[in-house]
């Protein structure tokens, strides 16, 4: 499976920079997306324009019960959600976090924010 790579957008603390003017990208609803995790906290922002979608953050590290646990968000049509991405649960051996979408339909946009100091 060939995932599209999302670019993180830095959100600096206001004492160190200016507020972020977020840019959204079309989600790769056919194959899924990945984002490289640099070590700073990340926030996933998903907007759904038409039709409910299920977004899955793929678990890559076994829990203390030795299971891979995905996190699933159901986003209704016309709504958006933000979610913190925990690297200890989601970062795979290549340093990426994988995001998949339930439907190959369009109208899903995503942004990934990185909190920087």
pLDDT in tens, 83-112: 988 777 888 888 899 999 886 657 899 999
Confidence (pTM)? 0.83
- Mean pLDDT value of segment 48-52: 89
Residue 22, token pair as written in the block: 């977020």
Strands (E), 1-117: 4-6, 8-12, 25-26, 33-36, 42-48, 53-57, 71-75, 80-85, 96-101, 108-116
pLDDT tens-digit profile of 40-49?
A: 888 999 999 9
Mean pLDDT for 35-64 is 86
pLDDT at residue number 82? 92
Give yes or no for a contact between 92 and 99, defined as CB atoms under 8 angstroms apart.
no
């Amino acid at each position: 499976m060939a995932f599209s790579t999302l670019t993180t957008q830095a959100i600096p603390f206001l004492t160190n920079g200016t507020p972020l003017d977020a840019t959204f990208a079309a989600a790769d609803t056919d194959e899924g997306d990945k984002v490289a995790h640099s070590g700073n906290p990340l926030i996933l922002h998903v907007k759904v324009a038409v039709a409910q979608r299920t977004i899955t953050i793929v678990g890559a590290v076994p829990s203390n019960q030795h299971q891979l646990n995905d996190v699933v968000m159901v986003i209704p049509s016309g709504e958006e959600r933000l979610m913190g991405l925990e690297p200890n649960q989601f970062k795979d051996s290549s340093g990426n976090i994988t995001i998949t979408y339930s439907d190959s339909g369009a109208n899903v946009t995503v942004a990934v924010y990185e909190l920087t100091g």
